[in-house]
Amino acid sequence: MFANRDFLKDLKAFEIPTCLRVCAGTDGSVTFLLEIMTRHEVEVITEDQHLVKADEEMAGLLDVDVGEEVNHRTVRLVADGVPYVHAVSLSPIGRMPEEVRRDMMRADIPIGKILRNYGMETRRDLDTIQMEADGPLFGSRECLSRTYRIVHHNDTLMWIKERFPADGRWLL
């Protein structure tokens, strides 16, 4: 179910390669799709990961109390040496089963694989999608960004912002 009913309409309006449209529009694992499209294992390169106390903005995104402990993780998804996605995730630690928390803190495992490994039934509620020209991303002048929530038992397990370079690397 789409949290933002205009998400699909907005996505269809962008002049971008089809493979990028598919990855940005999925309500499943981007990592899994990238592995199918590129025929290469996707490497998660962690740029930063640390625990923070939720401020008001985070608390609102995650539906938690201000001050609750949140895992803040920034990664790049790379296949065959080519970076495809830059992602920031916020995860309230208290909502994660212990084994999921342990794997999440290892930092090198894609979120989709962690969820699949533990058979967690989740859904992705897609929130926003837009083109950005804020500066280069992996050498591309423009990027497509989206935000969504991974929901488990009707609670936000994670909030994620993904940015995709909008260029020819998606002509797979």
Residue 107 banded pLDDT, cuts 50, 70, 90: low
Q: Compute the distance between CA of residue 147 and CA of residue 162 in angstroms, rounded to an integer.
A: 6
Q: Which fold has domain 3-163?
A: Chorismate lyase (3.40.1410)
Residue 103 banded pLDDT, cuts 50, 70, 90: confident
Statement: residue 2 has pLDDT above 80: no
CA dihedral (110, 113, 119, 124) in degrees, to 10, reads 60
Burial string for 78-103 (b: 16+ CB within 10 Å, else e) reads bbeeebbbbbbbbbbeebbeeebeeb
Q: Compute the distance between CA of residue 71 and CA of residue 73 in angstroms, rounded to an integer.
A: 6
Q: Where are the domains of the chain?
A: 3-163
Between helix 30-38 and helix 18-25 the angle, nearest 10°, is 160
pTM given for the model = 0.92
pLDDT confidence of residue 38? 97
Statement: residue 141 has pLDDT above 50: yes
Please report which helix (H) or strand (E) contains residue 123, including its range: strand 123-132
pLDDT digits over 58-98, tens only? 999 999 999 999 999 999 999 999 999 999 999 999 998 88
CA dihedral (45, 51, 55, 59) in degrees, to 10, reads 80
pLDDT confidence of residue 110? 84
